[in-house]
Amino acid sequence: MSGSGRLTLVRSAVGPHADQPVLYAGPGLDEARAVVIALHGRGDDAEGILAMRDMLQIPEVAFVAPHAAGNTWYPYAFLAPTADNEPWLSSALDVVRAVVETLEATGVQQRRIVLLGFSQGGCLALHFGASQATRWGGLVGLSAGLIGPPDTKWTFKGSLAGTPAFLGCSNPDPHIPRARLEDSARVLEQLGAAVTLRVYPKMGHTVNEDELEHVRRLLQSVGGAKKTT
């Protein structure tokens, strides 16, 4: 497929987010130099996060954006006890897994897949990428961190094998403690990611142009995508 529309998954995810639409924009999967799995934040939707593709202006890159039931991937903060966010959290992670499986079934290798998200979606992108550690095309967490209550000791297995990872966040951010941001960067580095961390004074819970430029450069490096002029 190419242009825009819906992506048909090879299987439905389990749990509350099962059978939610997955939107697609960009070149066909067999033509795309990279494919971004774009995960929206709380209160947003798949169409909202797809707007980032227009802002980035890299036509060779396709975006796939699943939608969360009720516009929320999990009900409480990403720092809440994990059990409090179930079964929504496990269902959200299974949505991402189902999208990855669908891309792989069409011939898209994991090193061409970039997991990207903002806020709740960014937490999912980082957490899924770390929990399924391999050589991804990239990991992008915008105003995000790894999921778990304070003092979580993550025991992820495998290696990110040089996967480029970008984390950008405000200081302060009303939802993302600075310590969790830095812990997340450290854990990803320990898994073998090439991490770039940028902290922006008093930016607020949003995305700025410097972050978009970092994402552009990351996407331009995946699959040899051409730079825009």
What confidence tens digit (pLDDT) does each residue in 118-145 have? 999 999 999 999 999 999 999 999 999 9
**pTM of the predicted model as reported, rounded to 2 decimal places:** 0.96
What confidence tens digit (pLDDT) does each residue in 160-191 have? 999 999 999 999 999 999 999 999 999 999 99
Q: State the chain's mean pLDDT as an integer.
A: 95
The fraction of the chain above a pLDDT of 90, given in percent, is 95
Per-residue pLDDT, 3: 81
What is the distance, to the nearest Å, from the Cα of residue 203 to the centroid of all Cα atoms in its chain?
21
> What is the Cβ-side half-sphere exposure of residue 123, based on CA atoms within 13 angstroms?
25
Per-residue pLDDT, 2: 67
Domain boundaries, the chain: 3-224
Continuous segment of H or E residues that includes residue 216: helix 209-221
Per-residue pLDDT, 224: 55
Average pLDDT score over residue span 137-162 = 97
Topology given in CATH for the domain delimited by 3-224:
Rossmann fold (3.40.50)
**What does each C-alpha distance from 135 to 29, 31, 32, 141, 184 come to in angstroms?**
19, 20, 18, 17, 18
What confidence tens digit (pLDDT) does each residue in 41-92 have? 999 999 999 999 999 999 999 999 999 999 999 999 999 999 999 999 999 9
pLDDT greater than 70 at residue 1 = no
